[in-house]
């Protein structure tokens, strides 16, 4: 079984992002970038499937500028077999990403496509669902367990108030949630090997798809600062304050 994993190159999640002075966007110039953590979980899951003998080949794909290669190297070092960069300088939104992924799915014919449930930069959380619709495949979103059976998979989904298990015919799209696995540490020898592995680059413009942005970002702003707390002298005062705040 061939597995396709989509990964996104995003601002490192330990970085505290800053809004540009003009409020147009988040300032990411010179900021440390890395693999989207949910996508890292997707890569880990695909590699585990391969290690268990379930998957035969794992292909990682990313869409973006040339520097997105770093994230593909990360995936290669973790153990994927092949890496593809669909290169574009256009800001790609979920629908565009889904369309581009669809073209690669048609070429690679994977049985299983695993993606992060969302990217931590825009937090849109739509790509997996749109891709499933475009390729007319089943979807198992927010997965915490993936169980591969003959010709189908069972996906345990994280939902409000519990879990939900769905069975999907292959090919299928799965999006990962945090509890699915804990990605491995990368071994240095693998990191070095990954530097030498080839990465296939496809020019997005050559695919003849409309990937122009449909959503317009109006502004970016810092969250409201938290209001300072107060100290109360006794329980009576606490109760009074809570009443005033209409909590009690």
Binding-site ranges for another protein (CB under 8 A): 12-14, 32, 34-35, 37, 74, 182, 184-189, 191-192
In the complex, the smallest distance separating the C-beta of residue 77 from another protein, rounded to whole angstroms, is: 8
**Residues 128 and 118 sit within 8 Å (Cβ to Cβ):** no
User: Encoding tokens for residue 20?
Assistant: 């540009």
User: What is the separation of C-alpha 89 from the centre of its chain, rounded to a whole number of angstroms?
Assistant: 19
Q: How far apart are the first and last CA of the chain?
A: 58
In the complex, the smallest distance separating the C-beta of residue 124 from another protein, rounded to whole angstroms, is: 22
What is the SS3 assignment for 138-161?
Answer: EEEEEEEEEEEECCEEEEEEEECC
CB of 48 or CB of 91, closer to another protein: 48
Report cis status (omega within 30 of 0) of the bond before 97: no
CB of 3 or CB of 11, closer to another protein: 11
**Residues 77 and 34 sit within 8 Å (Cβ to Cβ):** no
Q: Which residues, in sequence order, are bridge partners of residue 168?
A: 153
Q: Which residues, in sequence order, are bridge partners of residue 116?
A: 176
CA-nearest of 169, 158, 150, 119 to 12 is 119
């Amino acid at each position: 079984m061939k597995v396709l994993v989509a990964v996104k190159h995003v601002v490192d999640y330990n970085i505290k992002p800053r809004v540009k002075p003009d409020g147009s966007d988040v300032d990411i110039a010179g900021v440390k970038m890395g693999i989207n953590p949910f996508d890292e979980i997707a890569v880990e899951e695909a590699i585990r499937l391969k290690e268990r003998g379930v998957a035969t080949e794992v292909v990682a794909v990313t869409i973006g500028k040339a520097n997105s290669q770093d994230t593909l190297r990360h995936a290669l070092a973790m153990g994927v077999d092949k890496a593809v960069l669909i290169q574009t300088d256009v800001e790609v939104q979920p629908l565009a990403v889904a369309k581009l992924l669809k073209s690669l799915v048609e070429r690679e014919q994977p049985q299983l496509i695993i993606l992060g449930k969302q990217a931590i930069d825009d937090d849109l959380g739509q790509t997996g669902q749109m891709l499933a619709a475009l390729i007319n495949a089943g979807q198992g979103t927010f997965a915490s367990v993936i169980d591969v059976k003959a010709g189908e998979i069972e996906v345990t989904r994280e939902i409000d108030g519990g879990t939900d298990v769905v069975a999907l015919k292959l090919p299928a799209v799965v999006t990962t949630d945090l509890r699915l696995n804990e990605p491995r540490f990368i071994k240095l020898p693998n990191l070095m090997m990954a530097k030498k592995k080839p990465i296939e680059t496809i020019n997005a413009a050559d695919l003849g798809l409309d990937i122009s942005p449909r959503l317009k970002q109006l502004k970016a702003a810092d969250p409201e600062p938290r209001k300072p707390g107060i100290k109360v002298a006794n329980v009576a005062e606490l109760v009074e304050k809570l009443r005033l705040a209409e909590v009690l």
